[in-house]
Amino acid sequence: MTDASMSAAAPLRGVTVVEVASAPGARYCGRLFSILGARVVRVAMASAVLAGGEGAAAFELWLNEGKSEAASLEAALAALDGAPQVIIAGQDRALVSDVDASIEAHGLDVLRLALTWFG
């Protein structure tokens, strides 16, 4: 594979993303970044995907594929070599507010992508 074809297959290579999400819509957004070559660090939290069963476990694995995991936003930031370019937050409004407060507290210059239900 040539350098040109590798970069075409992973157009977001070199982009770092932190995913702070408990619902599948925002987590799928992180998965798309990962598929496109970005380094995605997922903040572990209770998931609102599905209640139990093999299907739920498989869906969790699928959503997390290609991502590394951190215990908190602070741990995710520490795991990265520098500040991320993107932080995905969602889908709960309170979670988005908490992420916004953390971004401000850390003085990050980052694109915050928030996904919430109905605006």
**What's residue 69's pLDDT?**
94
What angle in degrees, to the nearest 10, is found between the helix axes of 24-35 and 53-64?
Answer: 40
Considering the chain, what percentage of its residues have pLDDT values greater than 70? 86
Question: Does residue 42 contact residue 49 with C-beta atoms inside 8 Å?
Answer: no
pLDDT tens figures, 43-52: 988 665 555 6
Backbone φ, ψ for residue 92 (5° rounding): -80, 135
pLDDT in tens, 94-112: 999 999 999 999 999 999 9
Q: How confident is the model at residue 4 (pLDDT cuts 50, 70, 90)?
A: low
- Residues 17-29 have pLDDT tens digits of 999 998 899 999 9
Is the CB of residue 114 less than 8 Å from the CB of residue 95? no
Residue 53: per-residue pLDDT:
66
Mean of the per-residue pLDDT values of the chain: 87
Is 110 exposed, middle or buried (CB count within 10 Å of its CB: 0-12, 13-18, 19+)?
middle
Q: Which amino acid is at 97?
A: S
Element holding 58 (H helix, E strand): helix 53-64
Please compute the mean of the pLDDT values over residues 73-96 and round it to a whole number.
91
Extract long-range pairs of 7-10: CB within 8 Å, 24+ residues apart. 9/37, 10/36, 10/37
Q: What is the pTM of this model?
A: 0.86
What's residue 56's pLDDT? 79
